[in-house]
């Protein structure tokens, strides 16, 4: 389950209202940190570190069912799991080797 402080990646393109707002919106495929979660009539909303959702309260986290025709039910973010230690050590070894060969 996603919670406050978790790193998440946007899995769907964000929506806009009729005025093209919010101006700052999550980018699909980019990683964000959740700073708050709240319940709304469509499901769950969230705030993200470094993004200002104004004039809205936050961004879509999970929509229970399409409460508007242009909304899609489901999660709008996926939790980013940390890499296992073996993989991290392997990547560090490659980076050190690249730096010594340069």
pLDDT tens digits, residue range 46-89? 999 999 998 999 999 999 887 777 778 889 999 998 767 777 77
Q: How many domains does the chain have?
A: 1
Q: Which long-range contacts (CB under 8 A, 24 or more apart) does 63-70 make?
A: 67/41, 67/42, 70/15
As a residue count, the chain comes to 102
In a domain? residue 48? yes
Residue 102 has pLDDT above 60, yes or no: no
Domain interval for residue 35:
7-101
Contact 74, 10 (CB under 8 A): no
For the stretch 13-54, pLDDT in tens is 777 777 878 888 899 999 999 999 999 888 999 999 999 998
In a domain? residue 52? yes
CB within 8 Å of 14: residues ≥ 6 apart: 25, 26, 28, 59, 60, 76
In a domain? residue 60? yes
Helix (H) or strand (E) holding 74: strand 74-75
Its pTM stands at 0.73
């Amino acid at each position: 389950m996603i919670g406050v402080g978790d790193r998440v990646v946007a899995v769907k393109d964000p929506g806009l209202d009729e005025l093209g707002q919010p101006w700052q919106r999550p980018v699909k495929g980019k990683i964000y940190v959740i700073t708050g979660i709240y319940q709304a009539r469509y499901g769950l909303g969230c705030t993200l570190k470094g993004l200002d959702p104004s004039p809205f309260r936050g961004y879509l986290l999970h929509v229970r069912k399409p409460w508007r025709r242009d909304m899609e039910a489901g999660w709008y973010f996926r939790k980013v799991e940390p890499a296992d230690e073996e993989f991290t050590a392997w990547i560090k070894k490659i980076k050190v080797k690249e730096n010594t060969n340069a």
